[in-house]
């Protein structure tokens, strides 16, 4: 891949915790296992220490938690011991509380290094007092306790461990983020670790700005995450927006989607979009459609709530319908365009609808014939929380130019569209491009069998369904692109290229369910310090 493409990953920007976890999972999806990332992280820490002193015969104490940061510490211990250091690793918790298989694997390795690494476990804060001389007298202390999983104040025995490390006269090293510093907000807990050096993985974290007092010298370690893990959409991007369903919730907690579309010729498109919104997790899906199409949409599924509008088209008179206005009052997201048809009536109708949407400050997605109407109407879209989903022909109608037939050109075209309309844009194609004008993601799921009517309507419904659940528009578009393409791949696996948009819709839940192993990975990466002692 060219350097031109990779620069769209915005790789100089600091990451949020959510973004960092998503990138880790995407790297694993690309074939770079987490155990390799942990190996590279721990080795980077060892190299950073060795760069600052000759570690042979130096006393190095690593205080470790039970998560992946602890695992990084175990790897660092192995590499430092190989270099001749006298290494002691203090695990706060027990072996059975280690939360990931990678951490367990590396703990086993250093336990077996009984000639070069001393391993201890601490179950109670009182036990730390017995280690005071060891920690304070060390040449190096390494904070491998809590990283990106920190929530709130430090609890015991972590608080006492950090206090003890801060008393050390040696070099103080933090892995990834000093324990007690919130990597997203920069907030500090009482007793935060004050590092001389922080070795952070892959990229700096958002909360580091202005926190040099705690971070010390910042060193960014290249742990082997390919930049494609940021540019290409992967399971991590989907996991970052999926929220667990709680028992004590109801349908309105998951948002209301209103689809506006349909016409005498096209009744299936809005039905596909509405069903996709529900399969994405939205609580309710309303479809406002002309009376010429609404009976057919009603027959599509009892899950859809259909609002018949007067006439054959979504025109200005239809937008003034009181039933539609009541639906707008209840909606969180409006998706307009599926099956809309294109004529002067729908051009005027879209303008009237956008005014209603703007008045209510709703999120809005424009697709299909709605995009043609947008290109013709010259509406004021300033202030709209807007998503546009054109294919190559619809892009031409909006921008008056062709999309170049290469990925670099498609990215530039999508960014130009997003900038013109101050919108999030998905430029659909063999490799769909998602951008808000600054961030860029490229989707590689999907196949040639998806070049069939209605698949774009499923995509629009998925986006609207995610947005209804209070997911930011850009992230909703990213996740929906991946799931829509993956559902198409599942359909192709079963039927070859002989499938329809309804088959893609049917596969959406399976594409989401398929992410369950990645859900475990995301949960493990998100886990704070665990165990009875915390």
**Joined tokens for residue 224:** 């082997």
pLDDT band at 531 (very low <50, low <70, confident <90, very high): very low
| Contact between residue 367 and residue 387 where contact means Cβ atoms under 8 Å apart | no
- C-alpha–C-alpha distance, residues 420 and 355, integer Å: 19
> Which of the pair, 512 or 519, is modelled with greater confidence?
512
- C-alpha–C-alpha distance, residues 160 and 175, integer Å: 18
pLDDT band at 378 (very low <50, low <70, confident <90, very high): confident
DSSP state of 205: B
Angle subtended at Cα 183 by Cα 178 and Cα 189, rounded to the nearest 5 degrees: 60
Residue 529 pLDDT: 43
Residue 2 pLDDT: 56
Q: What is the pTM of this model?
A: 0.91
**pLDDT of 174-218, one tens digit each?**
999 999 999 999 999 999 999 999 999 999 999 999 999 999 999
DSSP state of 320: T
Indicate the average pLDDT of the chain: 93
| Contact between residue 461 and residue 258 where contact means Cβ atoms under 8 Å apart | no
Residue 532 pLDDT: 33
**187 three-class SS:** coil
**Joined tokens for residue 322:** 């009181």
Query: What distance lies between CA 5 and its chain's CA centroid?
Result: 20
**Joined tokens for residue 138:** 């060390």
Straight-line distance from the first to the last Cα atom of the chain, in angstroms, rounded to the nearest whole number: 45
- 3-state SS, 271-298, equals HHHHHHHHHCCCCEEEEEEECCCHHHHH
**99 three-class SS:** coil
Question: Which residues make beta-bridge pairs with 433?
Answer: 427, 442
Torsions phi, psi for 323 (to 5 deg): -65, -40
What are the structural domains of the chain? 3-231 (3.40.50.10260), 237-245+254-516 (3.40.1190.20)
Closest CA to 69 of 93, 85, 52, 50: 93
Task: Specify the residue for token string 């999926």.
Answer: 242
**pLDDT of 309-357, one tens digit each?**
999 999 999 999 999 999 999 999 999 999 999 999 999 999 999 999 9
- Sign for the CA dihedral angle at 431, 434, 438, 439 comes to negative
**92 three-class SS:** strand
**pLDDT of 260-298, one tens digit each?**
999 999 999 999 999 999 999 999 999 999 999 999 999
**pLDDT of 446-503, one tens digit each?**
999 999 999 999 999 999 999 999 999 999 999 999 999 999 999 999 999 999 999 9
Q: Residue 13: pLDDT above 80?
A: yes
């Amino acid at each position: 891949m060219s350097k031109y493409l990779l620069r769209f990953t915005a790789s100089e920007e600091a990451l949020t915790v959510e973004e960092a976890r998503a990138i880790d999972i995407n790297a694993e999806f690309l074939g770079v296992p987490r155990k390799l990332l942990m190996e590279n992280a721990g080795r980077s820490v060892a190299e950073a220490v060795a760069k600052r002193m000759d570690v042979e015969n130096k006393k190095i104490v690593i205080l470790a938690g039970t998560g992946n940061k602890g695992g990084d510490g175990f790897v660092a211990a192995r590499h430092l011991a190989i270099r001749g250091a006298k290494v002691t690793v203090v695990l706060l918790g027990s072996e059975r509380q280690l939360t990931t298989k990678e951490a367990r694997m590396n703990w086993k390795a250093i336990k077996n290094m009984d000639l070069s690494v001393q391993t201890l476990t601490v179950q109670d804060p009182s036990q730390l007092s017995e280690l005071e001389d060891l920690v304070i007298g060390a040449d190096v202390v390494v904070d491998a306790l809590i990283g990106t999983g920190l929530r709130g104040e430090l609890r015991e025995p972590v608080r006492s461990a950090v206090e003890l490390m801060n008393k050390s006269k040696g070099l103080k090293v933090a892995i990834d983020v000093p324990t007690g510093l919130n990597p997203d907000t920069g907030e500090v807990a009482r007793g935060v670790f004050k590092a001389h050096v922080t070795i952070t993985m892959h990229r700096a974290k958002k909360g580091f700005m202005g926190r040099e007092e705690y971070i010390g010298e910042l060193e960014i370690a290249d742990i082997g995450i390919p930049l494609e893990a940021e540019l290409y959409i992967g399971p991590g991007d989907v996991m970052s927006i999926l929220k667990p369903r709680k028992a004590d919730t109801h349908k309105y907690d998951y948002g209301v989607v209103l689809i506006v579309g349909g016409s005498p010729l096209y009744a299936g498109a809005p039905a596909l979009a509405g069903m996709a919104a529900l399969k994405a997790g939205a609580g309710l899906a309303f479809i406002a459609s002309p009376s010429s199409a609404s009976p057919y949409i009603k027959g599509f599924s009892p899950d859809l709530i259909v609002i018949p509008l007067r006439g054959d088209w979504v025109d200005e008179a239809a937008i003034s319908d009181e039933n539609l206005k009541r639906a707008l009052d209840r909606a969180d997201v409006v998706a307009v365009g599926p099956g809309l048809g294109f004529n002067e009536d729908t051009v005027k109708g879209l303008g009237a609808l956008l005014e209603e949407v703007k008045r209510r400050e709703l999120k809005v997605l424009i697709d299909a014939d709605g995009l043609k109407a947008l290109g013709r109407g010259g509406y004021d879209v300033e202030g709209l929380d807007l998503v546009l989903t054109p294919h190559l022909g619809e892009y031409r109608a909006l921008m008056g130019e062709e999309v170049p037939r290469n990925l670099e050109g498609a990215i530039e075209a999508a960014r130009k569209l997003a900038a013109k309309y101050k919108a999030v844009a998905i430029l659909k194609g063999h490799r769909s491009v998602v951008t808000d004008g600054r961030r860029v993601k490229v989707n590689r799921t999907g196949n040639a069998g998806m070049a069939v009517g209605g698949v774009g309507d499923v995509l629009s419904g998925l986006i609207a369904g995610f947005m209804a659940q209070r997911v930011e528009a850009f992230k909703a578009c990213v996740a929906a692109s991946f799931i829509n393409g993956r559902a198409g791949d599942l359909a192709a696996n079963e039927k070859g290229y002989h499938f329809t948009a309804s088959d893609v819709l049917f596969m959406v839940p399976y594409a989401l369910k398929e992410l369950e192993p990645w859900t475990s990975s995301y949960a493990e990466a998100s886990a704070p310090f665990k165990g009875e002692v915390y």
